[in-house]
Amino acid sequence: MRLDGKIVVITGAMGALGQTVASVFSTSGATLVVVDRQVPKELPGGMLGLTADVTDAAEVQRLMETVTQKAGRIDCLVNLVGGFSMGRVTETDRSLWDKMLTMNLTSAFLLSRAVVPHMLEQRSGRIIHIAARAALDPFPGAAAYLVAKSALLSLIRILALELAGSGVSVNAVLPATIDTPANRQSMPTADFGKWVRREAVAELLVFLASDGAAAVNGALIPIGSL
C-alpha cells in the first residue's frame, strides 16, 4: 500500500512500536509528523518532530493547529499512546486507576476531538487507535488497564457512528502482546515466537490509512494469537 502525499501524524512515536510504525509509514511514502513527550532534534526521512503531552487538552489543541499550519492538512492520525499496569480491582488505588484511564482513554478522546474538525473540513481523514486484544478477552489482574482499553473500544465505535458518511473513518488495531525489548525484559520466560511482530502491526496500520480502506469504519481488528 502506498501513502504518497498523505500527511500522517503518529503520537507515541518514540517508543519501540512507534519507531517501527514511523519507519514503515515512511517507506510507504507518507509525510510524517512524529509526536511524543520528547523527540530528537534530528529525525530521518524528512520527518517533522513535535513534542506534546497528549493527556493535556490545551497541548493537544495546539498540536493539531501547529500540524495544520506546518503541513497544511492532516490525512491520518495514528495514536499509539498508552500504558500498562497490573492490579486486581481490590489492589488498584485511585492514582493508578486515574493514570490508566488518562493514558489509554483520555488521550485518545482528546486527540480524536481535536483532529476531527480539521478532517471534516477536508471531508476526509483516517483516525486509527491502538487498543488491546485483551479488551475483547479480559483476564484477571489488570483491572484499570482493561477497563480503560474496553472503554476505548466504545469511544471508537461511537465516534465512527457519529462520523459515518462524512469521509472520516475511525478504526482500531487490537494487538496481543507485542514483541518489544521492554516486554521481553518484563516477561523473560514467555514464548516470544507467539508475540505480535511490530512490523505486522505497522503494516496493518498502513492499510487502514490507505485509500484501500476507505470503506472501513468502526472496525476493531484483533491481531495476534488467541
Q: How far is CA 77 from CA 28, 53, 123, in A?
A: 15, 16, 15
Is 151 an active-site residue? no
Q: What is the DSSP string of 57-115?
A: HHHHHHHHHHHHHHHS---EEEE-------B-GGG--HHHHHHHHIIIIIHHHHHHHHH
Residue 175 pairs with which residues in a beta bridge? 223
Catalytic residue among 134, 145, 168, 170: 145
Euclidean distance between CA atoms 35 and 47, whole angstroms: 10
Q: How far is CA 140 from CA 91, 105, 150, 184, 195, in A?
A: 12, 20, 14, 21, 20
CB 226 within 8 A of CB 48: no
Euclidean distance between CA atoms 24 and 30, whole angstroms: 9
CB 110 within 8 A of CB 88: no
Residues forming the active site: 145
